[in-house]
């Protein structure tokens, strides 16, 4: 069921209702004293993202990162399983601290 008064073609073009693309924010810090190499961290993160067929937009500084994760599929969405898997991955890497994973949000409209 749709909540929009727009026709199906416009809903699809605008990524609304059943065509909404969902994703989630995350943030974490790398403990500088842990010896974790930021390049190793990113290699692990990229392997995970590629393996789950996701996309990531990431920013931050050398030891603090924030990012947004969504699917690589055109009209697909990230899933709760993707959130859980990323949480488990980040918590399993020694030297990664303060992991925060947000609730699912609309990738285009932020709701």
What is the spatial distance between Cα 26 and Cα 13, in angstroms, rounded to a whole number?
Answer: 27
pTM: 0.86
The pLDDT assigned to 82 comes to: 96
Are 104 and 22 spatial neighbours (Cβ–Cβ below 8 Å)? Answer: yes
Average pLDDT over every residue of 15-41: 91
Does residue 80 register a pLDDT over 50? yes
What is the spatial distance between Cα 104 and Cα 21, in angstroms, rounded to a whole number?
Answer: 10
Residue 63 neighbours by CB under 8 Å, 6+ apart: 29, 30, 31, 32, 38
Q: What is the pLDDT of residues 37-76, one digit of tens each?
A: 888 889 999 999 999 999 999 999 888 999 999 999 988 9
């Amino acid at each position: 069921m749709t909540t929009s008064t727009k026709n199906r073609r416009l809903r699809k073009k605008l990524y609304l209702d059943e065509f909404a693309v969902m994703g989630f924010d995350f943030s974490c810090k790398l403990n500088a004293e842990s010896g974790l190499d930021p390049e190793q961290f990113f290699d692990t993160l990229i392997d995970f993202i590629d393996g789950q067929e996701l996309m990531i937009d990431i920013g931050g500084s050398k030891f603090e990162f924030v990012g947004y994760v969504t699917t690589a599929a055109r009209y697909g969405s990230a899933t709760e399983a993707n959130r859980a898997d990323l949480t488990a991955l980040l918590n399993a890497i020694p030297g990664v601290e303060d992991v925060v994973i947000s609730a699912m949000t609309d990738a285009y409209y932020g709701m």
